[in-house]
Structure 1
């Protein structure tokens, strides 16, 4: 059972998947930082200083705060500004993944086009051995006939 688990965890796709998840988590933090620290302040400056993370619609009359976090504590709110930020995160991640897949396809096409036209060194060696054995073949047949 231990060997089966070891083969599954370290030799199969599970290990590759784990590495991908860890890199994906780090990539997610980078994208969050890009959106919240770089893109949203620019959008906020363009729209006159509006902070998207603070945009919400109160769903209860008990909500009287202009701060989203306080408004959530006071009652039901619809935090659509946070949704806009998360949607921008998604668009950025989707665009970057699109670019990566497109780049990978380009690399695969280049590798396929750059495939070696001639035989490999192993194939050349085998051909030399085959060719060196061809002249000896008639002599071996002649010796075999004499022995009969």
Structure 2
């Protein structure tokens, strides 16, 4: 049972991609909660009240530069949460259960060249 589950998790194909999209959509709520409940309050911890809302902080005429800055900060925060809390732990988890790669087979022409080299060395002595 666990072997089949491990193979399912560690292989990559279209079904796994479809599952990843569905799980990713559901997981968005967790990432948003981490960003909105932890990261954003930490970022605004020492700011004065008028700057707590970045969207309205940099309003220049009709242009809302604060909205762009807020979207960039939100994207970077979400990317950091996904990378450090999901990708990195999964990579270390997967590395524990993935067998080491088999040594690369030596091509036949390389073996033949080595044999010729060894024969020539033997003749020169």
TM-score by length of 2: 0.47
Which structure is larger by alpha-carbon Rg, 1 or 2?
1
Highest relative contact order (Cα 8 Å, sep 6+), 1 or 2?
2
